[in-house]
């Protein structure tokens, strides 16, 4: 199983780390343009975003996909 995780860019990343990283990179406005969900556009916060994303698999997948895309295009920003 460890071999499967070597190339997984989400390995070791919490949803909170992903949201914070994307927010720092794109800002709330840019994040809301890329992933069209209300918690990024109307009074955004990490806490409200995490609450929504944990309950909504399709939105979480979009955020994770954006994170992977961002890593591939721009490299790690940490």
Tokens at 55, concatenated = 């309950």
User: 20 in a domain, yes or no?
Assistant: yes
Query: pTM of the predicted model, to two decimals?
Result: 0.83
In a domain, 3, yes or no: no
Residue 62, domain member (yes or no): yes
d(CA 73, CA 75): 6
User: CATH number of the domain that 28 lies in?
Assistant: 1.10.720.30
Instruction: Answer yes or no: is 8 within a domain.
Output: no
Cα dist. 64→19, 52 in Å?
Answer: 9, 14
Q: How confident is the model at residue 4 (pLDDT cuts 50, 70, 90)?
A: low
Q: How confident is the model at residue 7 (pLDDT cuts 50, 70, 90)?
A: confident
Q: Domain total for the chain?
A: 1
Evaluate whether residue 38 is within a structural domain: yes
Residue 63 lies in a domain: yes
Instruction: Answer yes or no: is 6 within a domain.
Output: no
């Amino acid at each position: 199983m460890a071999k499967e995780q070597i190339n997984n860019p989400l390995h070791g990343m919490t949803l909170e780390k992903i949201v914070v990283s994307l927010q720092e990179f794109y800002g709330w406005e840019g994040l809301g343009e890329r992933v069209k969900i209300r918690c990024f556009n109307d009074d955004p916060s990490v806490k409200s975003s995490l609450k929504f994303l944990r309950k909504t698999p399709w939105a979480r997948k979009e955020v994770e996909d954006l994170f992977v895309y961002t890593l591939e295009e721009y490299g790690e920003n940490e």
